[in-house]
Amino acid sequence: MIELAFVLFIIASTVLLGVWATNKSQSVSDFFVAGRSVNVFWNASAISGEYLSAASFMGVAGLIMKNGYDALWYPVGYAAGYLFLLLFIAGPLRRFGAYTIPDFAEGRFHSPAFRKIAVSFVLFIGFFYTMPQMKGAGTVMQGIMGWPYWLGIMIVGSVITFNVALGGMKGITIVQAMQYWVKVFAISVPCFVVMSFLGSYNETLGKALEVPKGVPIIPGSVISMKGKAGAPNNALALSTAGESLVKFESDAVLTSISVNPKPKKEDIFDASGAILAVGSSLEVSSKSKDLVVPKDTLVRVIPFEVTSAEGRKSKASLKLEFDQPSKIRVTAPRSQNDGDAFAPNSPTNEKWAAPFGPLTSKNGYPILYTYSLIIALVCGTAGLPHILVRFYTNPDGKSAKRTTLWVMVMLGAFYVFTPMWGSLGRTVMPILYASNSTDMAIIKLPTMLGNETLGHILAGITSAGAFAAFMSTFSGLLVSMSGAFAHDIYGKIIKPESSSDQRKTAFKFAAVGIGAISMLLGLLVESFDIAMMVGWAFAIGAASYFPLLLLGSWWRGLTAKGAATGMLVGGMASLVAIVTTMLIDKKYVTLEVSPLVRSLMEQPAIWGVPLSIALMVGVSKMTAKQVPHDVDTMMLRLHAPEELGHSKDYIS
């Protein structure tokens, strides 16, 4: 109940603040770019507020808890991406003086056709990015209030759509700025309180590392497993550290039982005694498929030794995949830890805290995976249209750079807390590993304090922070997508002679329409991982917008054809690779690919970005005659300081 009060408070204050700011927003320019008059500090707060999404607030801490050191690259990459943006793109982009990225695309090359391609990517990346926000809203309300999944989505979706349709960019700038401070408060203060009860950052990390082969211990409470719809998060990978007893508290169907970690062809092992039913006649083996397990069955799982072709010995155990949502308990024989079991699905301490752990080495190419992830995060940040559009709200290029500097400080101050939550989660609440819900760490952790009221208050604060995250990111996306529609599609393509008031009306209609579509899409993605979905948006942005902006502002020889080819092919190829991986994970398609190809498909940035840049350069060389004739003027506009008077605003 306390949690709900906090969430309702943040929703209500968002609406009120939005309405208040709207009354101050009058002109068309106000509507699209907040009158270009937002000062550096507030604009930086608003950019940070917009950037820190559900993935940053909940997903990153969850990933660090689940995968340890490797996942540290997420907060680092998100922050470093901004550094890239500052170094290469922020100043020139603002000086160019266009409203939206498609404006830049058309203005730089005098090519209306290129605008259409650029607009389609705004909508593309935008929708990919809204889906995880919606999913976050749905699951948090499910987690803290037990509401149905769609209700959280409807609430967040309609509140934000209302705000955006009413106030445009200016209406949300102040709201997003406030929400940045809500999020920083919500991630830092509860973290300090939790640490004061349960041990500080380095203490928990040190404790987590004491026994290299150790795994956190979980109490034998009831665990809810997700069914097939939650794949690949419907598995219970039992620990290799010791024996586990799995008690089925409800009827269950196991789609498959398999050896984990997945053995290579040459490995020698004997899994015949690895699993047996205790006190029932159930026939179960390490290769069972579609096994019906009645309620109250007790199953014993015993780790066994695997010898590789080179003679290295390691431990393996079994992985149970659930078909339907089911309830189980995991315990251990009395002889071991007083019956408490080793947490399933958890890597050992040593693997968790060291580089090239479970996340990056799952396909056998840890270095490749790590670098590809870094490229996707760093270049992807510089390719997110809803972030880029924010630079136009600065009065000039100089303040655009200063804003980015402030954003770096604000983002760093936020992200430094995410690994703290991740490591606290590992030591304090390892039961989240078993149910594959490490995403909820930041919401659920405060309840472990042992002080119920304080726990609920802190959980309320973190839930409110999570809601601030969904709402601010979704409103930013909605503004940039509706802006693209009203300004680029309606104003430049459908009805070029439309008056500015007509465009304002088009913006409002577009906001309502796109808001509704986003809510529908949100309902479809209940079973996907938040961080995974955000990864898609980043990879597509990295292979499409980033090369366009980088080369567009720094290389004279770029032609419209070159830029369009690189953007389309690079972006589309990455998209196809990612969607295919996801379909394989979900078992909609079966496709056996080699581990190398699989790594490259899952993290396409390492080939997608160079491919896109190479195509841009190659095709531009071939069409060198079509380099815009006024490229020197363009470069002056992009790079010369405003005081010299080369810049011009498209619409002032």
**What does the binding site for other proteins look like in residue numbers (CB under 8 A)?**
69, 72-73, 75-76, 79-80, 82-83, 86-87, 91, 201-203, 205-207, 209, 353-356, 367, 398, 401-402, 404-405, 408-409, 412-413, 415-416, 419, 640-641, 643-644
Q: Which sign, positive or negative, has the C-alpha torsion 619, 624, 626, 631?
A: positive
* Amino acid at residue number 350: E
Report whether 213 contacts 348 (CB < 8 A).
yes
- Nearer Cβ to other proteins, position 302 or 353? 353
Least separation in angstroms between residue 204's CB and other proteins is 8
Question: What long-range pairs does 509-512 form, CB within 8 A, spacing at least 24?
Answer: 510/481, 510/482, 510/485, 510/486, 511/161, 511/164, 511/165, 511/478, 511/479, 511/482, 512/161, 512/165
Least separation in angstroms between residue 71's CB and other proteins is 10
- Nearer Cβ to other proteins, position 191 or 231? 191
- Nearer Cβ to other proteins, position 114 or 391? 391
- The residues facing 342 across adjacent strands are 217
- Nearer Cβ to other proteins, position 83 or 631? 83
**Placement of tokens 């149970």 in the chain:** 320
Least separation in angstroms between residue 68's CB and other proteins is 9
Phi-psi region of 213 (alpha: psi -120 to 50; beta: other; left: phi over 0): alpha
The C-alpha atoms of residue 623 and residue 635 are separated, in whole angstroms, by 19
- Nearer Cβ to other proteins, position 80 or 627? 80
Least separation in angstroms between residue 437's CB and other proteins is 23
Q: Which positions ≥6 away from 377 have C-beta within 8 Å?
A: 73, 74, 76, 77, 78, 80, 81, 538
Least separation in angstroms between residue 368's CB and other proteins is 12
The C-alpha atoms of residue 3 and residue 243 are separated, in whole angstroms, by 38
For 120, the token pair is 């389609």
Least separation in angstroms between residue 48's CB and other proteins is 13
- Nearer Cβ to other proteins, position 508 or 639? 639
- The residues facing 564 across adjacent strands are none
Q: Which sign, positive or negative, has the C-alpha torsion 384, 386, 387, 389?
A: positive
Report whether 547 contacts 608 (CB < 8 A).
no
Least separation in angstroms between residue 599's CB and other proteins is 17
The SS3 call for residue 241 is coil
- Nearer Cβ to other proteins, position 209 or 568? 209
Q: Which positions ≥6 away from 359 have C-beta within 8 Å?
A: 63, 66, 67, 68, 70, 71, 369
For 593, the token pair is 């690919």
Least separation in angstroms between residue 279's CB and other proteins is 44
- Nearer Cβ to other proteins, position 7 or 64? 64
Q: Closest Cα to residue 582, out of 527, 540, 541, 544?
A: 527
- Nearer Cβ to other proteins, position 91 or 190? 91
- Nearer Cβ to other proteins, position 258 or 370? 370
The C-alpha atoms of residue 570 and residue 17 are separated, in whole angstroms, by 41
- Nearer Cβ to other proteins, position 40 or 156? 40
The SS3 call for residue 273 is coil
